Amino acid sequence: MTKKDWQQLGKGLAFLSPWLVGFTVFTGLPIALSFWFSLCDYTLLQKPVYVGLENYRTLIWGKNSAGGYGDPWFWKSLWNTARFAAVFLPAAMVVSLGLAMLLNLKIKGQAFYRTIIFLPSLVPAVASAMVWLWIYNADYKQGLINAYLIKLGLDPVGFLALKEWAMYALVFMSLWGVGNTVIIYLAGLQDVPRELYEAAEIDGAGIWRRLWHVTIPMVSPVIFFNLIMGIIGSLQTFSTPYILTDGFGRPERSLYFFAMYLYDNAFQYLKMGHASAMSWIMLVIILIFTGIAFWTSSRWVHYQGK
């Protein structure tokens, strides 16, 4: 390296220094530390004691007192999280892409419609949980939805009180906040050249064929981006189910998510080792899904002109 190169390096690192320090102290170190803790018995009260893979064994495959394998709450919370992602992500994709296509039509009042659909995504988790708790309420005839069900002569439903309903109630209220995904799709749709639609129309393609052969391939990079972010987002779902259920994941733990059990292990039971093992499991799951998404992306993602 020449003297000039060294100078540039020095300058560059000087500008990067806040992030270099931040990355080391607030990202690199915590990840390394949590790997160490995940191999330790650590209760915050005494020093960590190395126990090898014991934490992973207890959580994932070790025989438990009920005769099953692994920690039942670990598996339950992982299963709940996967179920949420499996229901919410496809639903969100269909709803937001559909809304984005409606909002992309050249009709009057679009700016108004777009604002209305976007606004709920700005509502803080606490406020949206409060509103939906109130709307879903099943005590007496108070809840809005149940009141109208009764008016229609139907039986009221304990949306957040029955384990058969709670997950779908959460998915439904989460769809209310789908507005920022809609905006991302909308921006993607506006990048699709109109010539393509016109050519397809001349060739006699109807609405569905234009959707399937023009729109979806053209916005596939955006779908791809949203899919990765959606998986990562679902895995860390915490605030909304926590607030809806006071942190318990009621009813019958059907809203008990992976991140909630991680939190409880760390700050309720002070099992830092278990919690750290769960952190690493979460990290590995994220890496696997991101990897799969990137690997397979070349098959179905079309980057325009790249």
Partner 1 sequence: MSVLETQQRPVAEYGGPRVLNRPRRHPERWFAHLGLLLVSVGFVLPFAWMLSTSFKRLEDTAKFPPQWIPKPFMAENYAIVLNHPKMHFLMFTRNTLIIATLAVVGTTLSSSVVAYGFAKITFKGRGALFAVMLSTMMIPFPVIMVSMFVIFRWLGDVRFGEWQVFGQWLGTYKPLWVPAWFGSAFNIFLLRQFFMTIPDELSEAARIDGCSEFGIFWRIILPLARPALAVVALFTFLWAWNDFLGPLVYLQDQDQYTLSLGLQTFQSMHGGTEYHLLMAASVLVILPVIILFFMAQKTFIQGIATTGVKG
Residues 234-293 that bind partner 1 (CB under 8 A): 235-236, 238-239, 242-243, 246, 259, 262-263, 266-267, 272, 275-276, 279-280, 282-283, 286-287, 290
Vertex 305 angle, CA 300 and 306, to 5°? 70
15 touches partner 1 by CB under 8 A: yes
Asked if residues 71 and 264 have their Cβ atoms less than 8 Å apart, the reply is: no
CA-angle at 214, arms to 210 and 218, nearest 5°: 150
Q: Tell me how far, at minimum, the Cβ of 192 lies from partner 1, in Å.
A: 12
Window contacting partner 1 (CB under 8 A); options: 23-31, 57-65, 160-168, 208-216: 23-31
Nearer to partner 1, 29 or 86 (CB): 29
Q: By CB under 8 A, name the one of 73, 83, 91, 120 that touches partner 1.
A: 120
Segment lying near partner 1 (by CB under 8 A), choices 19-27, 56-64, 76-84, 293-301: 19-27
Interaction residues for partner 1, span 184-243 (CB under 8 A)? 184, 186-188, 190-191, 194-195, 198, 201, 207, 221-222, 225-226, 232, 235-236, 238-239, 242-243
Applying CB under 8 A, which part among 59-67, 75-83, 146-154, 161-169 lies near partner 1? 146-154
Q: Is 155 in the site for partner 1 (CB under 8 A)?
A: no
Where are any strands of DSSP class E within the chain? Answer: 40-41, 49-50
Nearer to partner 1, 166 or 259 (CB): 259
Please, what is the minimum distance in Å from the beta carbon of residue 64 to partner 1?
A: 23
Count of residues touching partner 1 (by CB under 8 A): 107
Sole binder of partner 1 in the list 51, 82, 147, 196 (CB under 8 A):
147
Q: How far is the CB of 70 from partner 1 (least distance, A)?
A: 20
What's the min distance (Å) between Cβ of 12 and partner 1?
4
What part of residues 39-78 is at the interface with partner 1 (CB under 8 A)? 44
For every residue of the chain, DSSP letters joined together read --HHHHHHHHHHHHHHHHHHHHHIIIIIHHHHHHHHHHTEE--SSS--EE-TTHHHIIIIISB-TTSSBS-HHHHHHHHHHHHHHHHHHHHHHHHHHHHHHHHTS--TTHHHHHHHHHGGGGS-HHHHHHHHHHHH--STT-SHHHHHHHHTTPPP--TTTSHHHHHHHHHHHHHHTTHHHHHHHHHHHHTS-HHHHHHHHHTT--HHHHIIIIIHHHHHHHHHHHHHHHHHHHHT--HHHHHHTTTS--STTTT--HHHHHHHHHHTS--HHHHHHHHHHHHHHHHHHHHHHHHHHHHH---TT-
* Residue 89 binds partner 1, judged by CB under 8 A: no
Binding-site member from 94, 116, 288, 292 for partner 1 (CB under 8 A): 116
**How far apart are the C-alpha atoms of 122 and 119, rounded to whole Å?**
6
> Which residue of 30, 68, 72, 90 would you call a contact of partner 1, by CB under 8 A?
30
Helices (H) and strands (E) in the chain, counts: 15, 2
Identify the CA nearest to 127 among candidates 83, 163, 176.
176
Beta carbon nearer to partner 1, 15 or 299: 15
Stretch that binds partner 1, among 59-67, 75-83, 134-142, 208-216 (CB under 8 A): 134-142
Residue 26 in the binding site for partner 1 (CB under 8 A):
yes
Q: Tell me which of 37, 56, 74, 159 binds partner 1, using CB under 8 A.
A: 37
